[in-house]
A and B are shown apart, each in its own frame.
Chain A
Amino acid sequence: MNCLECRELLQRRLDGESIPAQTVEPHLSQCPDCREQHAAAQQLLDALKHDPTPEPSADFAKKMTSLIVEDRDERHDKLRRRVWLTLALAASVIVGLILAYYWIPRPTATENKPNPTIVDNSKKDIPPAPKLDRPKEAPTRVDVPSPLAKLTDRWVDTTRDHAKVLTAVAPLDAVPLPEFPMNPAVRDAGQEVSDGVRSVMRNARRAFDFFARELPMPDLAGEKN
């Protein structure tokens, strides 16, 4: 027997196999290295036998059971909540789709009207709006019987009437400005603010005109009838 075979037998003994002493004895008596290893193995087995594994506290199983039940209930609740939330979301999406189907008006094919301009763009400082190719089937405002359109019409009319009355009663040029002694620097600053505001207003007006051109117009002839 050589050292390798002796170690193989040592492993088998450590596995719990019964090896006759006379099989290893001749080699162990000659080989101090293997002898020491076999002795160490014996002491290892003895030590493991005399050192039982610690156990958890006496009430561990009971505490663990309540923890497991608690955890299970919590997970069930969470799952239930998630299912309800998913169902509620799905239901609201379906209701939304149904409402959208019945409420959103669908455009009807009507005669296409030319797009009249809202403002007089013959003035030099307002460039004419770029001509855009309008789709032939574009709906006019008449086709969209929106309360918003009617409301806007009413506001426009009212504002125009008020302006007419005001300019007739007191033309802006005729309104005298109060004569106070004023610091010239402050007066210049006021003038600059006024110029600035005017230019902002002009640009705002241009921008508005540009977009207003594209708004559909009411069927004026129809309204008169």
Chain B
Amino acid sequence: MSAEDANLVRRCLKGEESAIQALVERFQPDVFGLCVRLLHHRHDAEDVTQEVFLRIFRSLKKWDSTRPLRPWIVSIAINRCRTWMTQRSKLPETADYLQESAASPPTDDGAELVREIRDALVELRWEYRSVFVMYHERGMPYEEIAEAIEKPIGTVKTWLHRARLEILDRLRRRGMISEVEHELP
């Protein structure tokens, strides 16, 4: 995978448009997925995804080809989302924004649970939230997350465990646990 990534990057640096599109297609689920979950806002996520890809291609020369490409790209996305969140927190929230950021009204218990999880996610500390999204939404292994956020794997595990416990506590407090089940897969 790494050699394939390196080859793709080399073609991008040569200016091959097909390679550029291939790289975007390859990483857009990760970048957009992270943005939409971290920002909790689809429109903002599209804007930030665009910015992230522009930044990726502007600094593609700086990528160290001996290291994996995905964590590098994810780190740019995470940093950009964080900056966006900081800037957004300084702006007064508009009614339009709140309307769009709110999830669609629940149609059943499952949808309500999903909404509750999303709301719980937004309330988490930034570090916990990003690690949770990388692990549970993007399926990134601990090693890649550690590489992306430049922290030891132990720190990643601690943050992820705390994120899970906080979400579970919230679900229990809100009475979202329908019935007690013992079995886990």
Q: Is A54 an interface residue (CB 8 A)?
A: yes
Chain A contacts for B161, CB-based, 8 A: 11
Give the interface segment out of B63-71, B76-84, B144-152, B164-172.
B164-172
Chain A contacts for B184, CB-based, 8 A: 10, 13, 19, 21, 24, 38, 41-42
CB distance from B134 to the nearest CB of A (A): 12
Asked if A40 and B168 make an inter-chain contact with CB atoms under 8 angstroms apart, the answer reads yes
Residue of A nearest to B138 (CB): A53
Residue of A nearest to B42 (CB): A54
Q: Is B179 an interface residue (CB 8 A)?
A: yes
Within 8 A of A (CB), among B135-185: 136-138, 161, 164-165, 167-168, 171-172, 176-185
Chain B contacts for A208, CB-based, 8 A: none
Residue of A nearest to B46 (CB): A56
Residue of B nearest to A64 (CB): B24
Which DSSP category, helix, strand, loop or mixed, fits chain A's interface?
Answer: helix
Chain B window 33-69, contacts with chain A (Cβ cutoff 8 Å), 1 for yes, 0 for no: 1001100001000100110011001100000000000
A56 in complex: contacting residue of B49, B54, B180, CB < 8 Å: B49
Contacts A21-B183, A72-B57; A53 near B178 (Cβ below 8 A):
no
Contacts A53-B33, A56-B46; A36 near B24 (Cβ below 8 A):
no
A41 in complex: contacting residue of B17, B25, B164, B176, CB < 8 Å: B164
CB distance from A9 to the nearest CB of B (A): 9
- The residue among A28, A51, A62, A75 with the most chain B CB atoms within 10 A of its own CB is A51
Q: Is A165 an interface residue (CB 8 A)?
A: no
Assign chain A's interface to a size class.
35 or more
Asked if B28 and A60 make an inter-chain contact with CB atoms under 8 angstroms apart, the answer reads yes
Contacts A47-B117, A53-B37; A38 near B24 (Cβ below 8 A):
no
Asked if A56 and B20 make an inter-chain contact with CB atoms under 8 angstroms apart, the answer reads no
Chain B contacts for A48, CB-based, 8 A: 117, 136-137
Chain A contacts for B29, CB-based, 8 A: 53, 55
Contacts A44-B167, A55-B32, A64-B53; A69 near B20 (Cβ below 8 A):
yes
Q: Is A61 an interface residue (CB 8 A)?
A: yes
Residue of B nearest to A33 (CB): B172
Within 8 A of B (CB), among A49-90: 50-51, 53-57, 60-62, 64-65, 67-69, 71-72, 75
A50 in complex: contacting residue of B25, B49, B110, B167, CB < 8 Å: B110
Asked if B54 and A39 make an inter-chain contact with CB atoms under 8 angstroms apart, the answer reads no
Q: What are the 5 A-B residue pairs with the smallest beta carbon separation, nearest first?
A: A53-B33, A65-B21, A40-B168, A61-B24, A61-B25
